[in-house]
Structure 1
């Protein structure tokens, strides 16, 4: 079953297209439902649900009726259901639960990570070393979430995962060397899977192209026209789906991909660093 976050996002895309086709602004739409332009923006980004009464007002304002309106009403009803990760509200913030839902339903995930191994690829010892000073019951649940989300890689219809990791993420030892070696061997094993591509951005890459921050590009196939750029901070996250933002990050991704080692070279590189942690 497609999760509610995806349904809300599909509805948001449809409402945005309908508004633009009708030549209306977000401010004008906001006045129709006695709200703010920021509320319309959140609706169109799929970050919040919508009441059927407000949906009816907006559809009438956009000139959407009859058979064209019913699919949007269905999406609105589905978007109010609880998501897969709603049971972890006390240990996962809202802004990250939305990402987890999107991650689970993406058809392609392109991820640039310069400092640490991405959570979707972390082994349990690595997770514990990364959070060495955290020792609570909630932390045990956080570990469960991180390991559970990795199941998406094993699904027959799971996404293609393409990662670019900086060499510093591979060389920064978290925990003891044997635990780090286990993490790197796990990475190398995942790189052999047909739905996983891992590239390493080495220190001596012959390019000026780099990025000091991580970002994720999520694609959802033909069902959802626009892609999403996910940017995470310490206490919040941004979800960008504007054409200019997506285009800029896609171009940056392409330049980083070209500058990084190829998948075969990268796997050998990872195993070489793993060997250095043998002692």
Structure 2
């Protein structure tokens, strides 16, 4: 068995989390089993997290913080832990999401990760590789906590109609995902416009891209390939993509008409009654 005293708390956020969890548990005079009973998890899971063999969740962290009176320490640390579980090439993008005051994204074939449901995220991430799927999905969903900040970013997504029709997982997964998009209608900071098939040739034919804008720093454009991300602050690229995005928003359906199309697709393709979603 791996013991915590052979782990270097400075080796990674996961190692540091495990170190702090064990330190506070022992200070409270609890065994792993006893703490597990208090927070409704197994003592074995406590041990795996303490030895950096298992990635903690936000719910776990909140329960342990409450049980051990750590003042929210683990809940703060878990954000770093989950971000560290993202692919190395994507971690810089996650940092951009945290700092941005506005995020504009055009997506050709799937819902952006910041608006994905758990089932949808698991279907996307597990398409070719289900290794550590629980941890990878948790890391993706943890990025959505930027919307819980005191001043969350304005998020604008232009989504191709094709993404609504591209089934990810079972029909129930798509119903839940589309219902989630509809649930955001009343949030003025999160806007979803659908680019319909009827738009024909459009300014985004070269593929998906994101534009991140910041309070004081230059805007950054991000594009993605297989296993690699490409952020750039090149002024010409930013200007070009910003113009393209303006044209995509103009060609897309209004927010109201986009929601109506999402409802219609949900009903016709995935069997959801129209009157079941407000």
Is 1:83–1:101's contact at 8 Å kept on the other side of the alignment?
no
Deviates more, 1:209-218 or 1:160-169: 209-218
| Corresponding position: 1:162 with 2:156 | yes
Give the match for residue 61 of structure 2: none
| Corresponding position: 1:135 with 2:111 | no
Q: Residue 271 of structure 1: which of 263, 266, 273 is its match?
A: 263
Is 2:102–2:155's contact at 8 Å kept on the other side of the alignment?
yes
Give the match for residue 227 of structure 1: 219
Q: Distance in 1 between matches of 2:150 and 2:259?
A: 23
Q: Which has the higher contact order (CA 8 A, sep 6+)?
A: 1
Q: Is there any run of 5+ residues in structure 1 with no aligned partner, and where?
A: 1-81
RMSD over aligned CA atoms reads: 2.1
Matched residue count: 194
| Corresponding position: 1:255 with 2:247 | yes
Local SS of the residue matching 1:200:
strand
Local SS of the residue matching 2:231:
strand
Q: Is there any run of 5+ residues in structure 2 with no aligned partner, and where?
A: 1-76, 273-278
Is 1:207–1:259's contact at 8 Å kept on the other side of the alignment?
no
Q: Residue 118 of structure 1: which of 112, 122, 130 is its match?
A: 112
Map 1:148-187; keep pairs closer than 5 Å.
148-187=142-181
* 1:202-251 Cα shifts (integer Å, max 9, x gaps): 00116544424110000012x22x10001111121111111111100001
Give the match for residue 109 of structure 1: 103
Give the match for residue 200 of structure 1: 194
Is 2:122–2:133's contact at 8 Å kept on the other side of the alignment?
no
Instruction: Give the drift of 1:201.
Output: 0.3
Give the match for residue 242 of structure 1: 234
Instruction: Give the drift of 1:191.
Output: 3.0
* 1:110-140 Cα shifts (integer Å, max 9, x gaps): 000000111111111112222144333x321
